[in-house]
Structure 1
Amino acid sequence: MSARFKASNQVAVVGYAHSAVQRHAKRTLGTLAAEVARDAIADAALEPRQVDGFVTAALFPTSGDHAVEDGVSMVSANWLAEHLGASPRYVAGFQGIGQISGSVSLAVNAIASGAADYVVLHRALHNPAGRYHHNAMSEAKGRQQWTAPQGFFGPLAMIGLPYNEYLQRYGAEREAMTHVVVEARKNGARIPWSYWYERPLTAEEYLAAPMINDPVCRFDADIPVDGVAAFVLTSAERARDLPHKPVHIAGYASSPPIRPRLPLHWTLDDIMSGGTETARRLWEASGVGPSEVDLPQVYDGFSPFVWFWLEVLGLCPVGEAHRFIADGGIDSDDPAALPAMSGGGALGNGRMHGIPQMLECYLQLSGRAGERQRQNATVGLACHSSPHYGGAVVYTNEPW
């Protein structure tokens, strides 16, 4: 039995909008989301009354003692539909592994099945006031009693462990990560809505940054922000009548369930074995292989994810990503290189989850990237989260 996705290339992205990415926006997240959604609908030459589907992943990505309030710190699909005055036939929120790729799957399945004709997919990110990971915990219970009191708490400790494993196993130097972060910031500095617009980073600045959780420094993590992006999706048939070149979804894949371990205990072997399975599912579902992808956009919420994704996707040999990148392998200014961070990613835009990756695929494949437009890009790949705890989507500008 073939694993090729039966709805492959039957659904397309036909419009988008993006807010400015700010440390703290002056307006509420809900206000921004409603404005951006209206702009995305207009970009697709539609009206709100025509939109009959809304999807999102409304996860509030912070830990600690912060209030979760719809329309303020997160924006659900229900909230957005209500405040646009819509009367949709399909409303859903993704709760599984891979927030952005999961949202894409909801939208694609709704359109392919006939549950909706036009779907708005949005993601709204909020940066709460105060310390981002403020924690009011006075005692550690359950499994956390074996980790939190020893200082193993929060995502920086989580990623520091496999990052150290990689350095030791493959003889990599922490200085090699300079090429990843500088590349992300170079590209983000070219994008007007980016938090880092016109603010590239030098290698010297990266190496001088404070260490947070060795070997993770300040610039190895994306900066928390307020920002919203929205996309409009419809069937490939309807897309032909709309003004912009459609970008089709060839297939998607989510990671398999992770192994049960202590809280935040992500080992390098788990990441790579789970990621290899994610990639296998992706190639089978989409009907393409790594050699056919000319616009890979790997996730970089933490800089080591870039090494991990490149290797599990087969874009460079295992254990060689640090050398591959240092040798210019992902330099977006080199036409012969793989532009794996040409959209700036999370490190170059701010903590927008997998939105920069999805957006870069749409802009480049639809020919709407302006001065950044790459020639002859036909197949894009957008990743989200860790290879073993996320997902990926393959996009193409020509139905296969």
Structure 2
Amino acid sequence: MSGRFAASNKVALVGHAQSPVQRHAERPLGALAVDTARQAIADAGLDLKDVDGIVAASLFPTAGSHAVQDGVSTVTAGWMAEHLGADPRYVAGFQGIGQVSGAMALAVNTVASGAADYVLFYRALHNPRGSYHGNSMQSIEGPQQWTAPAGYFGPLAMIALPYNEYLQRYGATRESMAAVLVEARKNGARIPWSYWHGKPLTSEEYLAAPTLVDPVCRYDCDIPVDGVAAFVLTSAERARDLPHKPVYVSGYAHSAPAPRRLPLHWPLDDIIDGGAETARRLWEHAGVGPDEVDLPQLYDGFSPFIWFWLEVLGFCPTGEAHRFVQDGRIDSDNPGGLPVLSGGGALGNGRMHGIPQMLECYLQLAGRAGERQRPKATVGVACQSSPHYGGAVVYSAEPF
């Protein structure tokens, strides 16, 4: 991929819906997804018959021993097409690096190519009952035979390694990470659909939380939840006739395949070096740079990702993010702060895997954030997953 995106700002988000984010929903995930999708279509001023494309970012996000059942623990695009009541001529799901950003690129390209006029994009997340990453394996084959028996299994061990590397290499402390958690929870506490609505967090509470895998504590992890978000996309031309201010997709980028390592082995250098390439692709594709972004929404499924994304995107030098997040530098209430968690992120909403970042970009750039509306929101970037194994999308309030 090289050069500016040919369809930059020619496709727009025109409506949305977000379900409550709950530990365990009272209804099956499929029913929740259908209702949320229909609400998004109505929000866009459309009828079911108008929707002729469905794109999903389907994933059952647990490394544990849990069964995958369509419509219950995951909701694929095919399942949605069968149950929504629309008659789409294009139905697809994304499988690759960068789930949310990749699926969004698929939806954008669907509209830009003319494969569909109005595309429903959605993400449905399920939290299985029982231990989230519970491992019932009695034996194991393949590459994980070298790691899982020693306890190196699941995302917690994966993120603990580069987090430790960062702390030791740059002299960072968990006290500086507290600023990230306090900011995420402060903003999530303001959002009605958030799991953490009305529940801010103090630095003292964060530092006193039990350690899960050193140095990762309970609050460094986004809490597993049930929840669904849906959006409607169409061309910039059609968007002008719909009720809400369009939010344009300026460009996107996905990470290159990571170096071959043992399973879940993510060295810090891989994250930063690979992330720098992701950022280069992003700015080139969207035709903007970090200095033009006033609404960066950084991924925070684990808190260290905030430090990593700040550095690879160019908002601060390598090794300085742990200092950058302190003294109000990321405080969304500070007029001079960089609002990297103004939408609460995953730590402030629940494990919605990149949706809080995308949703905040849409709401702010469309002028629909209500009491949280920022006086200036022109260009946003929504990140997802790790910088070296994820992706990002640039959104704009006006075409450029």
CA distance in 2, matches of 1:255, 1:103: 14
Aligned match of 1:99: 99
- What does the per-residue CA deviation read over 1:66-108, in whole Å, with 9 as the maximum and x for residues that have no partner? 1111110000111112111221111110000111101110110
Matched, 1:309 2:313: no
Aligned match of 1:344: 344
**Residues 120-199 of structure 1: pairs in structure 2 closer than 5 A:** 120-199=120-199
Matched, 1:234 2:234: yes
**Residues 359-370 of structure 1: pairs in structure 2 closer than 5 A:** 359-370=359-370
CA distance in 2, matches of 1:326, 1:265: 29
Aligned match of 1:335: 335
CA distance in 1, matches of 2:245, 2:235: 13
Task: Return the TM-score normalized by structure 2.
Answer: 0.99
CA distance in 2, matches of 1:65, 1:156: 16
Per-residue deviation at 1:170? 0.6
Amino acid at match of 1:267: P
Task: Return the TM-score normalized by structure 1.
Answer: 0.99
Per-residue deviation at 1:141? 2.1
Amino acid at match of 2:78: N
Per-residue deviation at 1:290? 0.3
Would the aligned equivalents of 2:300 and 2:346 in 1 still touch at CA under 8 Å?
A: yes
Structure-2 change in CA distance of 1:199 and 1:97 (3 Å): same
Q: Please give the secondary structure, in 1, of the residue aligned with 2:245.
A: coil
- What does the per-residue CA deviation read over 1:375-400, in whole Å, with 9 as the maximum and x for residues that have no partner? 12100000000000000000001011
Amino acid at match of 2:119: V
CA distance in 2, matches of 1:300, 1:218: 14
Q: Please give the secondary structure, in 2, of the residue aligned with 1:111.
A: helix
Matched, 1:392 2:389: no
Would the aligned equivalents of 2:30 and 2:71 in 1 still touch at CA under 8 Å?
A: yes
- What does the per-residue CA deviation read over 1:162-220, in whole Å, with 9 as the maximum and x for residues that have no partner? 00000011111122110001110000000000000000001111011100000000000
Aligned match of 1:41: 41
Q: Please give the secondary structure, in 2, of the residue aligned with 1:185.
A: helix
Per-residue deviation at 1:59? 1.1
CA distance in 1, matches of 2:80, 2:398: 31
- What does the per-residue CA deviation read over 1:290-340, in whole Å, with 9 as the maximum and x for residues that have no partner? 000000000000000000000000011110011010122110010111100
CA distance in 2, matches of 1:260, 1:216: 25
CA distance in 2, matches of 1:33, 1:268: 36
Aligned match of 1:378: 378
Q: Please give the secondary structure, in 1, of the residue aligned with 2:273.
A: helix
- What does the per-residue CA deviation read over 1:340-376, in whole Å, with 9 as the maximum and x for residues that have no partner? 0000000000000000000000000000000000012
CA distance in 1, matches of 2:152, 2:294: 39
Aligned match of 2:256: 256
CA distance in 2, matches of 1:174, 1:145: 32
Q: Please give the secondary structure, in 2, of the residue aligned with 1:233.
A: strand
- What does the per-residue CA deviation read over 1:11-60, in whole Å, with 9 as the maximum and x for residues that have no partner? 00000000000000000000100000000000000001100000011111
Q: Please give the secondary structure, in 2, of the residue aligned with 1:67.
A: coil
CA distance in 2, matches of 1:376, 1:155: 36
Q: Structure 2: where are the runs of 5+ without partners? A: none
CA distance in 2, matches of 1:201, 1:2: 43
Q: Please give the secondary structure, in 1, of the residue aligned with 2:394.
A: strand
Amino acid at match of 1:323: R
Matched, 1:15 2:30: no
Q: Please give the secondary structure, in 2, of the residue aligned with 1:326.
A: coil
Aligned match of 1:54: 54
CA distance in 2, matches of 1:179, 1:82: 45
Would the aligned equivalents of 2:2 and 2:281 in 1 still touch at CA under 8 Å?
A: no
Aligned match of 2:76: 76
Aligned match of 2:321: 321
RMSD of equivalent CA atoms: 0.9
Deviation beyond 6 Å, 4+ runs, structure 1 = none
- What does the per-residue CA deviation read over 1:122-146, in whole Å, with 9 as the maximum and x for residues that have no partner? 0000000111111111123222122
Q: Please give the secondary structure, in 2, of the residue aligned with 1:249.
A: strand
Per-residue deviation at 1:147? 1.0
How many residues are aligned here? Answer: 400
Per-residue deviation at 1:148? 1.2
CA distance in 1, matches of 2:164, 2:354: 24
Aligned match of 2:86: 86
Aligned match of 1:111: 111
Identical columns (%):
75
Q: Structure 1: where are the runs of 5+ without partners? A: none
